[in-house]
Amino acid sequence: MTDESPSQKPVAASTYLIISGASLIAAIAIGYYYFHYMKQSGTEKMDNQVFYLVLVLFGIAASALIFGIMNSYASLNGIQSNVTYKFTGPVVGVILTVLGGFLLPKGSTDQFLSIRVFDQDNHPVTKGNVTITFPHYQRQASVNNDGLVIFPDIPGDQIRNKIIINVVSDGYSNVTLDTLLSNFNPINLILNQAKVIRISGTVKNAADNPIRDVEVQVDGTPYAAKTINDGSFDIPIPGYHFGDHITLVTSNPLYEDKSKEFEIQSGEIDNIEFVLNPVSAIHSKNKTK
């Protein structure tokens, strides 16, 4: 008695056609994703792992496409599928993957570096300039209303290079960070408010002439200054913070006193102007007593 193995039923041509069609769609989709989103996008950055993953998927899709086409042809023409028909697709897929790894551009390696600037209370600092210095070049940008500075198009090979970050903002002490750039994650910097606020301005009369020897004082404090020949004054006041309200008052025997209240919003306040009216003779005598 002889054992006869049952003959294997051949795969229908329609099955190979379905494999070919699905593989073609997959190959087109992967190619479109590569060229449209990864290579041409200016914001999405492609690293090596993502690139080779896409390349391998494309190689598998191409292998399945060639495998399906060749076996569809063999099935439709009554040709027995042999080693050539079975392994041509995978071999071509491997070749395409290897060639793609050498020939296809991996996209731009440029990155963007973001720097966020906060004050001591963790509120965004909304003004100022940030300068970054690499070994061979320097860049500068302004802080936006969210306390953020973005430097685009930083070459990826700057990783592990020395970088110096300098932040300058009115009313805050300058900050300089000297470090190695280990990655492109956001960098957070804290600025301390300047220890001394400076207030300056001018005192004039109604004819727009400067008045000298007028005392301008921060009300309720010992901080004061007298105007000079051009009517200007300059008062350094320590211990105040942004958001504090102060009142300036003027004093001179020949002129009426005036006061101005305002909020401190920067470290340099230089637009204060007083216009004083002369006092009457009787009033002047009373003030000088």
Q: Are residues 214 and 235 part of one domain? A: yes
Q: What do you get for the CA distance between the two ends of the chain, in Å?
A: 143
**Total number of domains in the chain:** 3
249 in any annotated domain: yes
Q: Which of 172, 190, 208 is the last residue of a domain?
A: 190
CATH number of the domain that residue 277 is part of: 2.60.40.1120
Give the per-residue pLDDT at 8: 56
pTM of the model: 0.47
User: Which positions ≥6 away from 208 have C-beta within 8 Å?
Assistant: none
Q: Are residues 122 and 85 part of one domain? A: no
6 in any annotated domain: no
Three-class DSSP labels, 255-270: ECCCEEEEECCCCEEE
Give percent above pLDDT 90 in the chain. 33
Q: Are residues 126 and 47 part of one domain? A: no
Taking residues 247-275, what's their average pLDDT? 91
The Cβ of residue 63 has, within 10 Å, a number of other Cβ atoms equal to 23
* Residue closest to 235 by CA, chosen among 274, 206, 279: 274
Q: Are residues 116 and 99 part of one domain? A: no
Per DSSP, the residues of 122-180 read: SPBP-S-EEEEE-SS-EEEEE--TTSEEEEEEE-GGGTTSEEEEEEE-TTB--EEEEEE
d(Cα 253, Cα 289) in Å, to the nearest integer? 10
Give the per-residue pLDDT at 282: 46
Q: Are residues 140 and 178 part of one domain? A: yes
210 in any annotated domain: yes
220 in any annotated domain: yes
Flag whether pLDDT at 9 surpasses 70.
no
Give the per-residue pLDDT at 41: 45
Flag whether pLDDT at 239 surpasses 90.
no
| Tens digits of residue pLDDT in 152-208 | 888 877 878 899 999 998 878 889 999 988 888 899 999 988 778 889 999 999 999
d(Cα 156, Cα 108) in Å, to the nearest integer? 9
Q: Are residues 205 and 178 part of one domain? A: no
Task: Provide the domain limits for residue 126.
Answer: 111-190
| Tens digits of residue pLDDT in 20-76 | 778 778 778 877 776 665 554 443 444 566 667 777 777 787 777 777 777 777 777
Q: Which of 103, 138, 160 is the last residue of a domain?
A: 103
Give the per-residue pLDDT at 189: 93
133 in any annotated domain: yes
118 in any annotated domain: yes
Q: Are residues 57 and 19 part of one domain? A: yes
208 in any annotated domain: yes
84 in any annotated domain: yes
Q: Are residues 128 and 74 part of one domain? A: no
Helix, strand, coil percent values for the chain (each to nearest 5): 30, 35, 35
